[in-house]
Structures are given as C-alpha cells and as structure tokens.
Structure 1
Amino acid sequence: MASSPLINQPWLKYLPLCIRRRVEGQVYLQNVVGNTAWQFGDQILRMGVGLLVGIWLARYLGPEQFGLFSYALAFTALFTAIAGLGMDDIVVRDVVRAPEKRYEILGTAFGLRMVSGAISFMVAMVVIVLLRPEDTLSHWLVGIVAAGSLFHGFFIIEFWFHSQVQAKYMVMAKGSAFFLCALVKVGMILMELPLIAFAWVTLLEVILGAFGLIAVYLSKAERLSLWRWRYQAAAKMLRDSWPLMLSAVVIMIYLRIDQILLGELAGNEAVGIYSVAVRLSEVWYFIPAAIYWSVYPAIVEAKGISEELFYERLQKLYRLMVFSSYALALPVVFVAQWLVPFLFGEAYGQAGVMLGVLIWSNVFVSLEMARSSFLTVMNWTRMYLVTVVLGCLLNIALNLWLIPIYGGIGAAVASLVAYWFAAHGSCFLFRQLRPTGRMLSSALVNPRFW
C-alpha cells in the first residue's frame, strides 16, 4: 500500500472514500482531480467573496446604476472576445502536441493577442459612441473596462499552465489580483465613491492578474525572452483559430445580447434586476471550466492513442458535465425566489423567477464547452462556428420577440432555448455531428460522476 499512487498524492486523503477508491492507481485521473481541485478551491473562494461584494455593490448602487454598470460590462465583453482570437484551445493543443516548440507558440500567440487587444479596444469605443452618442458616462465606463484588452496578450501564460495541468500557479496569480481588488471595492463602497471608480478597479484587476501570471511563469525558471514570433506559425494559428474567434464573438453575443437588448428595450433598471439573475447563474461556470481544462489535454492525447479511448473519454466528460449541472440546478430552483430578495433586497425580487429559468442553461453551457474539445481536436472549428451562429441568431430573434412582452423573464427563456439549441439541438442538423448529438443525449438521461 505504501507505494500506491494514492498515498503519494497528499491531497487525495481529503476526498470522500468512494472517490479515493475510484482514483487509486490511476495517475491520469489523479492529475485531473488534483488540477480540478485547485480550480474548484479558487473559484469557490471567488464565488463566496465575489457574491458578498457583488450583493453589497448591487445594494449600494441600486438597480438603475447597477444596471448601467452591468450594461457596460456586457457590452465590453462582446469586444473582449475579439481580443482573444479564439486561440485558447489552439495554444493548449499545439503545446501538448509539440512541447519543443512552446516558445514559438507562446511568442506568436502573444504578438497576435497584443495586436487584437488594441483593435478590440478601439472598435468598442467607436461602437459605444455611435450607439449612445449623448451618454458620456457610458463612454467612460466602456472605455475604462475595455482598456483591459490591451493586457490580454500576457494571459497566454495561462494556457501554458493549462497545457501542463498546473492550475495552482494560475490560481495564485489571478486569485491574488481578485482578492486585492475585492478589498478595494469594499473600501470604495464604505467611502461612497461614484460608479466610475468601480470601472477603474475592474481594469486594475486585469492588470494585476497579467503581472501575477508573469511572476509565476518566471518563478518556474521560464523566460519571456525565449518567446519568438514566427510569421508561418502566426498564419497557421490564425487559420486554425479564426472560426473559434468568430465563435467566441458569437458566443459573447448570445451570452450578453439579452442584457444589451433589455437595456435598449426596457431600460437600465430592468438590466440591473436581470443582471442579478445572470450573475447568480453564471457564478457556477467555474465548475465546467475547471473540469474542461483539467481533462482537455488528456483528450488531445487520447486521439493520438486510439479512437476507442478518445470517444470513451469524451462520453465520460459529457456525463460528468451533466451530472455536475443537475446537482447544481435542482436545489437552486427550489430556493431561487426566496434567495434573491433575501440577498439583494426586495428591489431585485423579480430576479428570483429569472434565476429559476437561467440556472438550467448551465447544463447546456457545460455540454457546449465539453463538445468544443471534440470539435477542436478534430479541427472542425468551422462546424463549431456554424452551431453557435445559429444559436446566436435564435437568441436574438427570441429576445426581440419576448422582451417587449415579458421583460426580463422573456430574456431568460430566450437564453435557455438558445443555449440548448447551440449545444445539443443543432447537432442533429448536421450528419457529422449526429453521433455527438446521440452522445450528448445519452449524457442528459444518464449522467455520471465518472
């Protein structure tokens, strides 16, 4: 027993006995669980602190100003997706496949992200001025938050650690920035500072996170000076990633278009109430994200070993994603209408019903994230783009139809239907994706922990 991999992993002794028995002797699974545990621990702390600060901020600002701040964040997110260039999975995939070329991959990705970040910042500023020409406060809020795109090149380091299944270093870097800025927000609330001050703190968190990642990267005896730009590598990376970039933009549109359309059709106060439901539903996205980034490198490797192992691991990932989503959605549905007014106050009471609807979208967000691993490994990124475009168009159409009639509840229903269609329903429209659709259906009716 002393030589068991279970004993050699100290953190495993804190897991429930049933889980320890499942992972004993399985080095791959132990790495996945350990990496996921780091991300879970970080995100659970973020969720707790972020929720407390978010509640305090929402109460302090009130639905009108909180709605305007949420509108600015949602608007900026549309253009942040451009800065990302959709290369997250591509960088991880390429480093896993060719670790000897890691400096070329990282350097090229860094250069591309710095250029795209500057472009996305300028485009965001032009669009907000055209959309709200007289709203100077919105211009400032969007400009400050969007300036974070200028630092996104350094977040390439994050994908290096993902490729090495070493989440703890990202946790230390980005978590420190988050907690420091959370304390700053609390201080600003106590000092009763104006809305625009909180936009500056949002930018500060991005900057501190970037420098934190640089620090932990250097601490691993790596050097930024070894990064190299290669035109051929950039061309290949863009060929592989442009469908994912457009997909990321489209995903941000159908993740945030509900808040933007709600702001234009129903006003900032409606956005403020709806944003509470969105935040309470999206705060759990760290669960599928942590699972995904822990499993993705192994799925890439499995493809090179055998088709059987590849699809076996995919099915396990789909079932695990659904299992975790069901485990979350069921209890939230029963407490949502009591929980929201208790936490945020009666002014946000209507968000309880919206949360009861939106929480089910986590099931399909998780499945879409898991399915993207399959499409990226197969290099079917164009197919991924088509499915999310269809989901986006459906979301826009449903929001335009339902918001004037039902307000925020209509936006919640529109989002849920669109998420389902993009992740699951759209698979059955294309012959190549029908086997994947059947695998997702199996996961929906037979979820499992592993």
Structure 2
Amino acid sequence: MNNRVIKNASWIIMCRVVQAVLGLIISMIMARYLGPSNFGLLNYANSIVTFVIPVMRLGIHGVLVQEFVASEEYEGEILGTSITLSFISAIVCIIGIITFVSCVNAGERDTIIVCTLYSFTLIFQSFEMINYWFQAKLLAKYSSIIALIAYTVVSLYKIILLINRKSIFWFAVANTLDYLVIAAGLLIVYHRLGNQKLRYLKRRAKKLISIGKYYILSDLLITVFAQTDRIMLKSMMGNQATGYYSAAVACAGMTQFVFGAIIDSMRPTIFESRKKSEELYKKNLARLFSVIIYLSLIQSVVMTLFAPLIVSILYGRQFIQSISALQIVVWYTTFSYLGSARNIWILAEGKQKHLWKINLFGALANVLLNTLLIPPFGVNGAAIASLITQFATNFITGYIFAPIRGINQVILKGADPMLFVDTVKKIIRNR
C-alpha cells in the first residue's frame, strides 16, 4: 500500500469513526425510545428500500471507478450521465416501493407511511455517483468530510425529535435529510475541484448501461441474501423479532466503515497495478485480503466474548434477545468483506458477467435456509442462515464456479499470518 492509499484510507476512517460514535449514541437512545417493535419497523422500511437500490443504480456504480481511471478526459460526461440515469431510475423505484408495500402490507397504515417516507432517500442517493469520482482520484478527505457534516446534521435532527418525543414518521425522514446534505456537498465540491462540466450523453448512457448491466441482477441478488432475513422475520414473527435481529446486525457492523475505507482506497491502486505488473497486482490483492481476514477475525472474537455487555450498553435489557444472534452474525463479516474485495478482482479480470450466477446461488441459499431455520430457531435461525450463506457465496463458490477459481488461491495466500504482519509493518513505515 503506497502513501497516497494510506492517507486516503486514513481520512475515510477518521471521519467515519466520528460518524460511528455519533451513530452508536443516537441509535442507542433511539432504539430505547422506539422499542423493539418500532425499531423493527424502521429496519423493515430500510430493507425494502435497500432492495431497489441495485435497480436505482443500474449497475453503473460497479464500473465507475474503473471508467474514471481509464477515461479521465471524459469524466464530466461519465458522471453527468450516470447521475441522470440514476435519478430517473430513483423516481421509478419510489413508485414501485409505494405500490409494493400498499399491496403486501395492505391495511398496515404505519408500515405504508414509514416505507413511503423512507423511499425518498433514493432521489438524493442518485447523486452519490459523484463519490466514485473522489475514490478514483484518491480525494476521499472531501467526500468523508461532507458525509461527516451530513451525519452531524442528521444526528442533531434526531436529538431534537427525541427531545420532543416525535412519532416514528419523523424518524423515517432522517435518512432523506442525510442524503440531501451529502448530495448538495458533493455537487459543490465537485464544481470546485472537477475540471469538466457535468453533462448527459445518450451514447455514454448506452455504454454505461451495457457495462453495468451485469451488476444490476448481481447486486439485486446480493440484496436478497442481505435483506431477506429481516423481511422474512417480519412476515413470520413480527416487528419485534425484526428489531432484535436488526440490533444484532447493527452491532456486528459497527466497524464496517474501516473495512469499507480499506477496500475503497485499494480499488484504484489495484486497477492501476494490473496495468504495470501481474505480480504487483496479485500481491496488492493478497495484501488486501490479508488485512480484511485478520481484522475481521479479531473483531469477531472480541464481539463474541463481549456480546452481552455490548448489547446491554447500546440497547438495554429490552434487547437482551439480540445477544445470541450477535454472537452468530458477527462471524459472517469476514466472508462478507471478502466478497466485497473479491469483486475488485472480478471487475479487473472482466468476469462481471459471472456475478449473477454467484449471487443467485447466495440468494436461493439464503431464502431456503431462512425458510427452514426461522420457524424452529427464530432470530438465531436468521443469524445462522446469514452465516452459512456468506461463507458459501464468498468462499465455497470459488471452488464451484470455474471462471473464478483463481481468486481463492489469492485469498488463501492472504490468510498467511506473515503476510498480514508484513503488510502492517509496511503501513506503519509509510505513515
């Protein structure tokens, strides 16, 4: 990892640490105030909206960093076209969400209103395409600061709601406010730093959709096995069970920003190294896998041991049923982050057309496992289903599907503890 990558990742991590601390405090108070049932309803709305995000993005986000690196002289039209396409898609997705919830949850007034309010986040999420320009340029400090400002504004908004004891509907609007501030900030900073004006080109739109089409179905299937557990829990056991499970998943994902920062910062470097040397390219990949494997294993051990304390401090005794679920769920993080890193290799190798097969396998496995395990084991059943699904999808498929078999050798190389030690030493020297 070179010095620019480390500095870029440091900015992301530093800002997101503050966000995580704020998020923990606000989430802790909010969950206690709303209770497991309303907290579960908010997470159900989040799951429904998350389901359509892959459609809203049209798969374009999966190729943007590579497009910016490969075609720097056309970044204005690449970015302008991707934002326009995503914005139009967002409007269509909002209509789809309202229609779906009105049919599936007919008669549940609160559920329909919360999901509708939550869906408006999609409009402003379309502008997050600009964030991939910052990633490609290794200018994460700007986008990180913008996200931190937005998160601070939303945290203050939630505090005001808590003080005034507002209803759940007001909390459903919070995410929309978050993405509104981020969208405005990204546009302003890009206008100052970007060398080209944003513009839409039909020719560019066709190209982006053509390249990104493999990611639409793939990302949709990823969402299925990432969100199905919560939706199935609500339909089979109610809002309360969804609240317990969501609390466990939230605890397990507390350090997600660290892994996200590392992966995002390494992505452009890995693409660049592939142009220079196959050996350097595979070495950078192995180092990325090594850092992810060992940091996530350390996290899993710590959270398993201290799960009762973590849940009690963050959510209180009313969420006590989240403890055992957390002790199971936290172990799937290693395989989840490995999958995110593996996608860099898949894109670099031009194998994205095989993603849908991998993720279809994961989606079907997750639905089947949840169907079998939720009735007898409840919240823990959903946790076990998620763990098995992540392991099978992000590691076992590397032996099942021939086109991606090569990457498992690199992952196993990353599992070498000496490589992890060497990578840590290199990071410390380059600070």
TM-score of the aligned structures, taking structure 1 as reference length? 0.91
Gap change, CA 1:263 and 1:444, over 3 Å in 2: farther
Which of 394, 399, 419 is residue 423 of structure 1 equivalent to? 394
The correspondence for 2:235, drawn from 264, 268, 287, is 264
How far the C-alpha of 1:392 sits from its partner, in A, is 1.2
**CA distance in structure 2 between the aligned counterparts of 1:303 and 1:216, rounded to whole angstroms:** 30
Deviation at 1:222, TM superposition (A): 4.6
Distance 1:235 1:62 in 2: 47
Q: In 2, are the aligned partners of 1:174 and 1:213 still within 8 Å (CA)?
A: no
Give yes or no for the alignment of 1:219 onto 2:192.
Answer: yes
Amino acid aligned to 2:366: N
Residue deviations 1:290-341 (CA, integer Å, cap 9, x gap) = 0111111011111211222221211111111112211211111100023212
Distance in 2, Cα, partners of 1:80 & 1:91: 16
Aligned to 2:12: 39
Alignment of 1:6-155 (within 5 A): 29-155=2-128
Distance in 1 (CA, whole Å) between partners of 2:124 and 2:214 is 23
**Which residue in the other structure is 1:296 paired with?**
267
Is residue 257 of structure 2 the alignment partner of residue 254 of structure 1?
no
How far apart are residue 284 of structure 1 and its match?
1.9
| Mapped partners of 1:326, 1:42: distance in 2 | 23
- Could you tell me whether the CA contact under 8 Å between 2:290 and 2:416 is conserved in 1? no
State whether structure 2 residue 207 is matched by structure 1 residue 236: yes
2:404 corresponds, among 409, 418, 433, to 433
Once residues 267 and 445 of structure 1 are traced to their aligned partners in structure 2, the CA distance between those partners, rounded to angstroms, is 44
Amino acid at match of 2:291: L
Please give the alpha-carbon distance, in whole angstroms, between the structure 1 residues aligned to 2:241 and 2:84: 40
Counterpart position of 2:132 = 159
- Find the residue that maps to 1:283 and give its secondary structure: coil
Q: Which residue of 2 aligns with 1:381?
A: 352
Quote the offset at 1:445 in angstroms. Answer: 5.4
Q: Equivalent residue of 1:359, what SS?
A: helix
Match of 2:335 among 341, 346, 364: 364
Change over 3 Å in CA distance of 1:342–1:110 after alignment to 2: closer
When normalised by structure 2's length, the TM-score is: 0.95
Shift of 1:407: 0.3
Q: Please give the secondary structure, in 1, of the residue aligned with 2:106.
A: coil
Q: What is the match of residue 22 of structure 1? A: none
State the secondary structure of the residue aligned to 1:229.
Answer: coil
Looking at structure 2, the residues matched to 209 and 69 of structure 1 have their Cα atoms a distance apart, in angstroms, of 21
One-letter amino acid matched to 2:312: P
Q: How far apart in 2 are the matches of 1:32 and 1:216?
A: 21
Q: 1:362 Cα shift?
A: 1.1
The secondary structure found in structure 1 opposite 2:23 is helix
SS of the residue aligned with 1:360?
Answer: helix
Cα deviation 1:397-420 (Å, max 9, x = unaligned): 000100001000000010011011
Greater RCO (Cα-Cα under 8 Å, separation 6 or more): 2
Q: 1:221 offset after TM fit, Å?
A: 5.5
Partner of 1:169: 142
Counterparts of 1:387-402 in structure 2, within 5 Å, are 387-402=358-373
Distance 2:221 2:105 in 1: 22
Measure how far apart 1:232 and its partner are: 2.2
Structure 1 counterpart of 2:203, one-letter code: Q
CA distance in 2, matches of 1:123, 1:363: 34
For the aligned residue pairs, the C-alpha RMSD in angstroms reads 1.4
Q: CA deviation at 1:250?
A: 1.4
SS of 2:253's equivalent in the other structure is helix
Residue 196 of structure 1 aligns with an amino acid whose one-letter code is: F
Counterpart position of 2:429: none
Deviation by residue 1:20-47 (Cα, 9 ceiling, x = unmatched): xxxxxxxx61111101111111111111
Equivalent pairs, count: 421
Partners of 1:427 and 1:434 within 8 A in 2: yes
Does the Cα contact within 8 Å between 1:240 and 1:379 map onto a contact in 2?
A: no
Q: Counterpart of 2:142 in structure 1: which amino acid?
A: Y
Question: Contact 2:124/2:176 (CA < 8 Å) preserved in 1?
Answer: no
The separation in 2 between residues aligned to 1:216 and 1:55, in whole angstroms, is: 33
Which whole-Å CA distance do the structure 1 matches of 2:109 and 2:54 have between them? 24
2:24 match: secondary structure = helix
- Structure 1 partner of 2:151: 178
